[in-house]
Amino acid sequence: MEARKTKEADLERKKPYFFEIGLIIALLVVLVAFEYKNYDKITIDLASRAIDDTPEEIIPITEQKVKPPPPPPPKQVTKITIVEDDVEVEDEIDIDVDADDDTEMEEYIPIDDDEEILEAEIFTVVEAMPEFPGGMGKLMAYLGNNIKYPPFAKETNIQGRVFINFVVEPNGSISNVKVLRGIGGGCDEEAIRVVESMPNWKPGMQRGKPVRVSYNLPVKFTLQ
């Protein structure tokens, strides 16, 4: 008997479709296999607790020994030595009770004890500061008319201020002239020369008396 088969039921015609579907499924399986990751399984035991078997170190208790306080210092006893009051005094003064205007007096000769004469105190601030004759304007004019610019400083273009310190004596004279800060080039020496040649100042006054006063003076050197 001859088998009856329609063209729609013939699977040979659909074989290429099944083959393509199989390839697609196989490709998907391969891709999933490559992308799959396997992680190590970690088991956490929350009930377990580490036990420290390290023996506890026992610190011995030491006794602090307090040093006794030092003994009090011995009491100082002042020893008084009594000397005989029969020493002859050589510097007795003879007083002539019968002296009159016609009596000749011996010339007084001072005794030289080689004592150093201390210089009077130098003040920096006093009630009335020393002043140049005529005031500060006259002082500036004096410096401008008497300062000669050193040739070396002029050639090397040295300019600036030279700060001079000096002492105005009670009689108004100038002493102890020195440079506090200089600029070199011969300007320092020129400033000292001009200050030392200044006329006497009006001295500084302290409690109504002239005193020695330290004074700082800036001398300006400027090329025109």
178 occurs within a structural domain:
yes
Query: For position 174, which CATH number holds?
Result: 3.30.2420.10
At 114 the pLDDT is: 41
As a whole number of angstroms, the distance between CA 216 and CA 93 comes to: 51
Scan for tokens 């891709």, then name that residue.
31
Question: What is the CA angle 138-141-143, rounded to 5?
Answer: 110
186 occurs within a structural domain:
yes
Decide: helix, strand or coil at residue 3.
Answer: coil
Residue 212: in which H helix or E strand, if any? strand 209-221
Length of the chain: 224
In sequence order, the 6+-apart residues with CB closer than 8 A to the CB of 172 are: 130, 200, 201, 202, 203
At 23 the pLDDT is: 86
Residue 173: in which H helix or E strand, if any? none
15 occurs within a structural domain:
no
Domain that holds residue 163: 122-221
72 occurs within a structural domain:
no
Write the pLDDT tens digit of every residue in 9-27: 666 777 787 788 888 888 8
As a whole number of angstroms, the distance between CA 218 and CA 163 comes to: 4
Answer whether residue 203 shows pLDDT above 90: yes
At 201 the pLDDT is: 94
58 occurs within a structural domain:
no
| β-bridge partners, 106 | none
As a whole number of angstroms, the distance between CA 149 and CA 223 comes to: 8
139 occurs within a structural domain:
yes
145 occurs within a structural domain:
yes
Write the pLDDT tens digit of every residue in 151-195: 998 899 989 999 999 999 999 999 999 999 999 889 999 999 999
Of 137 and 74, more confident: 137
Domains of the chain: total: 1
Answer whether residue 49 shows pLDDT above 60: no
Average pLDDT of the chain to the nearest whole number: 77
77 occurs within a structural domain:
no
Task: Give percent helix, percent strand, percent coil of the chain, each to the nearest 5.
Answer: 25, 15, 60
What does residue 9 show for φ and ψ, rounded to 5 degrees?
Answer: -85, 0
At 43 the pLDDT is: 63
Scan for tokens 């390839």, then name that residue.
23
As a whole number of angstroms, the distance between CA 122 and CA 220 comes to: 26
